[in-house]
Copies of this chain bind each other. A is one copy, B any other.
């Protein structure tokens, strides 16, 4: 905690210097219309001269308002979230908010702590990419606390609030369709933990695609793992031990897919010919990876922009109907997948 003695020029000092009252000066910083040009100029000159800096904190305290937004993601080393955050930031700064950013590193307790901290800091709203779907204590707290909150990317089923995400089921379905069309029937599902809603939704798509094609999904080809490159590599290893190994793999996200393809390189397997690989997210790296990754675009930046917009709307009108924005994913076919 920084201790900062003095230094701060106050509105009172400005007012004294300009020969007006503090209240008048206050109206000027907020450029109220009912102030004559002359006094306005005069006071502004004083501000300039004294090097006045508006104290938003004090102002917010008095006016019971907030100009900050808390944004919580699970990991910003993941390029997916970098893009998401770019969207969020861009939009929020446009609206004049300042952003508290934090990472949960996929820890529920961390998430709890962060949300509490943000509450203590009087955030005007929260954009949350939840760690998991079991809504923990703090999420509930936020609710009863009626801080405007928007969830994004992942959803908390019991929590009724604005949400922005994509149609995961549909996304996975098109990916699997693509593999089936290319003659694959043994398609592994790699990465993620089956107790998360994000996983379940993807799995629905996986299963649906098989059903639609009149095939049965082989659940012994499901290999869970952490959502990292290492996780992907390990999941691939497991899948290859299968007595009847897959000819294609669908990966929970691109990061997992990168891990898979790295491991394949080490094993001298070529993505697209020896084994088809499909990812999910279409992060920038997907197109530039070698070989380029077939993946499902999930518009992280758009999700970010929409989440920011939704939050802004809710702040302006807390009573409005909850809104859900579900973007439609899009398959990008690249070299990592091919005919069986």
A residues lining the B interface (CB < 8 Å): 1-5, 7, 51, 53-58, 60-61, 63-68, 76-77, 79, 82-83, 85-86, 89, 93, 96, 98-103, 116-122, 124-125, 141, 144-148, 229, 258, 262, 265, 284-285, 288-291, 315
Which residues on B sit within 8 Å (CB–CB) of A291? 290
Among B53, B61, B77, B124, the residue within 8 A (CB) of A82 is B77
A89 to B102, CA, bound (A): 8
Among B120, B148, B258, the residue within 8 A (CB) of A2 is B148
A-B contact pairs, 22 of them (CB 8 A): A1-B67, A2-B67, A2-B315, A3-B63, A3-B65, A4-B64, A4-B65, A4-B146, A51-B145, A54-B120, A55-B120, A57-B57, A57-B121, A57-B122, A68-B100, A68-B121, A76-B85, A79-B82, A93-B102, A99-B102, A100-B100, A290-B291
A115 to chain B, nearest CB (A): 11
**In the complex, residue of chain B having the shortest beta-carbon distance to the beta carbon of A258:** B288
A149 to chain B, nearest CB (A): 12
Contact A66 B1 (CB under 8 A): yes
Give the interface SS of chain A, mostly helix, strand, loop or mixed: mixed
Q: A4-B64, A288-B262 are in contact. Are A103 and B89 (CB under 8 A)?
A: yes
Which residues on B sit within 8 Å (CB–CB) of A117? 98
A125 to B120, CA, bound (A): 19
Question: How many of these chains are in the complex?
Answer: 2
Contact B119 A53 (CB under 8 A): yes
A277 to B155, CA, bound (A): 43
**In the complex, residue of chain B having the shortest beta-carbon distance to the beta carbon of A141:** B51
Which residues on B sit within 8 Å (CB–CB) of A285? 285
Which residues on B sit within 8 Å (CB–CB) of A262? 288
A126 to B214, CA, bound (A): 60
Contact B76 A76 (CB under 8 A): yes
Contact A76 B66 (CB under 8 A): no
Contact B290 A5 (CB under 8 A): no
Which residues on B sit within 8 Å (CB–CB) of A284? 77
A64 to B57, CA, bound (A): 11
Which residues on B sit within 8 Å (CB–CB) of A141? 51
Which residues on B sit within 8 Å (CB–CB) of A315? 2
A120 to chain B, nearest CB (A): 4
A168 to B71, CA, bound (A): 34
Among B60, B79, B146, the residue within 8 A (CB) of A57 is B60
A7 to B262, CA, bound (A): 52
Which residues on B sit within 8 Å (CB–CB) of A65? 1-4
A280 to B43, CA, bound (A): 51
Contact B120 A56 (CB under 8 A): yes
Give the 4 A-B CB pairs with smallest separation, nearest first. Answer: A2-B124, A290-B290, A101-B101, A56-B120
**In the complex, residue of chain B having the shortest beta-carbon distance to the beta carbon of A78:** B82
A50 to B58, CA, bound (A): 25
Which residues on B sit within 8 Å (CB–CB) of A98? 100, 102, 117-118, 121
Contact A229 B288 (CB under 8 A): yes
Q: A76-B86, A124-B2 are in contact. Are A145 and B290 (CB under 8 A)?
A: no
